[in-house]
Amino acid sequence: MAIKGAIVVDKEKCKGCGVCASVCPKQVIALSKNVNGKGYNYAEMVNGDCIGCASCGMVCPDGVITVYKAKV
Amino acid sequence: MFNEEIVKPENLVYKKTSVLTDAVMHYCPGCPHGTIHRIIAEVIDEMGIQDKTIGIAPVGCSVLAYNYFNVDFVEAAHGRAPALASAIQRLHPEHHTFTYQGDGDLAAIGTAETIHACNRGENIIIFFVNNAIYGMTGGQMAPTTLVGMKSATTPYGRRVDLNGWPLQITELVAQLPGTNFVTRQSASTPADVRKAKAAVRKAFENQAAKKGTQFVEFVSTCNSGWKMTPVAANEWMRQNMFPKYVLGDIKVEGEIVREYNPADSKVIRDLVSVK
């Protein structure tokens, strides 16, 4: 049994500030090379190491991150 | 791409609270206003007081705060939020009235209202967001700008002989007998957010017990006004703002728990690194 997490980013509302990436303890989050409708490089998961700690969600100024956690 | 079997409603651990509306905030990318809005909204949600909370919006970047909170809101004239909150709280003593003000609103044009509301001991909560600059109007010097800090109107850094000392309004109101809980928090890291949330909750609980004025300062950044990236601004805040605006409780249950020594400012003057 291992705890696995995942985040879902509301791409259109993300402003690409990068604060979530700077606090992630597992370096799971990075800014995408793609842009959203407003031209921001939105945040996205770049690997599967997420532990579902919700640190990113807590510091996200725009509240666009939803965090899930499960035992798999 | 990594998460098909994890993203299910029963595995949810964190989502934006419903006390915030779905409107996209107009704040710059990385602005801590959004985080602080969410901290307050989460506490309102957890305490179940959404239908009896009244917020007062200021003038400044957060002038449109009423678009984002799903509670009753009133917009005050510039700096007059504590006066308006006093009236509303007296008329609705069972409600929770809070003001949400920046440093230009609270510590510059509204200094008199702030100090007198705190001195009267009005049973209101004042949330004070201190980013040491006038963010909305283009980064001019505010009363709280650090010595040596560059702004649009102090391009060579704030000078004490010309511009005076940064105003420590939080320490100032802690001296007044009307204030019950005075604290200084931040919202740049998950640990700070947790501490800030505990402080905000304590303020709402004290207000429910009618203990007097609750004053919560958030040391904040203005990455656009400071001309930095959001992550660099957070780091600059930790290195330069925190020695001057020390985090932690200043007054708890009407007793000052951390004395303020003005001589500290003279020491800090030489420590402030100019960008």
| Cβ pair B29:A52 closer than 8 A | no
Q: Report ipTM for this prediction.
A: 0.94
Cα separation, B52 vs A32, in Å, equals 41
Please compute the mean of the pLDDT values over residues B100-128 and round it to a whole number.
95
Task: Report the pLDDT value the prediction gives residue B172, as an integer from 0 to 100.
Answer: 93
Please enumerate in sequence order all residues whose Cβ is within 8 A of that of B180, keeping only pairs 6 or more positions apart, or say none.
B121, B206, B211, B212, B213, B214, B251, B253, B254
Give the pLDDT confidence of B237-257 residue by residue, as tens digits: 999 999 889 999 999 999 999
Q: What share of chain A is helix, strand, coil (3-state, %, to 5)?
A: 15, 35, 50
B244, B272 in Cβ contact below 8 A?
A: yes
Read off the pLDDT of each residue in B96-114 and give the average, rounded to a whole number.
94
What pLDDT shows up at residue B274?
A: 45
* Residues of chain A contacting B35 with CB distance shorter than 8 Å: 58-61
Please state, as a whole number, how many other Cβ atoms lie within 10 Å of the Cβ of residue B189: 17
What is the pLDDT confidence band of residue B264, given thresholds at 50, 70 and 90?
low
Q: What is the pLDDT of residues B20-64, one digit of tens each?
A: 999 999 999 999 999 999 999 999 999 999 999 999 999 999 999
With CA atoms as reference, the chain A residue closest to B189 would be A59
Q: What is the mean pLDDT of residues B60-80?
A: 94
Residue B212 — left, alpha, or beta (φ > 0 → left; ψ -120 to 50 → alpha)? left
Is residue A67 within 8 Å of residue A7, measured between CB atoms? yes
Confidence of residue B266 (pLDDT cuts 50, 70, 90): low
Give which of B226, B216, B210, B227 is closest to B192, Cα–Cα: B216
Q: What is the Cα–Cα distance from B111 to B9, expressed in whole angstroms?
A: 47
**CB < 8 Å to A34, chain B:** none
| Residue owning tokens 């009407």 | B254
Q: Above 60 in pLDDT, residue B81?
A: yes
Percent of chain B at pLDDT above 90?
85
- Option in B2, B33, B234 nearest A45 (CB): B2
The per-residue pLDDT for B273 is: 46
What pLDDT is recorded for position B275? 41
CB contact under 8 A, A18 and B13: no
Q: Judge: A6–B3 Cβ closer than 8 Å, yes or no.
A: yes
**H or E segment to which residue A9 belongs:** strand A3-9
Q: CB B193 to CB A50 under 8 A?
A: no
Handedness of CA A23, A28, A33, A34 (dihedral sign): negative
**Is A5 close to B34, i.e. CB distance below 8 A?**
no
Confidence of residue B6 (pLDDT cuts 50, 70, 90): confident
Q: What is the pLDDT of residues B176-195, one digit of tens each?
A: 999 999 999 999 999 999 99
Q: Is B229 an 8 Å CB contact of chain A?
A: yes
**Residue B268 clears pLDDT 60, i.e. is over it:** no
Residue B61: per-residue pLDDT:
93
Confidence of residue B1 (pLDDT cuts 50, 70, 90): low
Residues of A whose CB is below 8 A from B30: 15, 17-19, 61
Tens-binned pLDDT, residue by residue, of chain A (72 aa) = 788 999 999 999 999 999 999 999 999 999 999 999 999 999 999 988 999 999 999 999 999 999 999 988
Point out the residue among B25, B38, B234 whose CB comes nearest to the CB of A19: B234
Is B198 touching A (CB cutoff 8 A)? no
Q: Which residue, among B185, B182, B141, has the nearest Cα to B163 in the 3D structure? A: B141
pLDDT of B169 over the 60 cut? yes
Mean pLDDT, to the nearest integer, of B73-94? 95
Confidence at residue B261, expressed as pLDDT on a 0 to 100 scale: 72
More confidently predicted of B44 and B165:
B44
Instruction: Give the pLDDT confidence of B200-244 residue by residue, as tens digits.
Output: 999 999 999 999 999 999 999 999 999 999 999 999 999 999 988
Average pLDDT over every residue of B84-96? 96
pLDDT of residue B108 exceeding 60, the answer is: yes
Cβ–Cβ gap A59/B188 under 8 Å: yes
Residues 6+ apart with CB under 8 A from B228: B221, B236
User: Residue B75 carries which side chain, given as an amino acid letter?
Assistant: E
A40, A62, A72: residue with CB nearest B5: A72
pLDDT(B2) > 80: no
- Tokens standing for residue A8: 């879902």
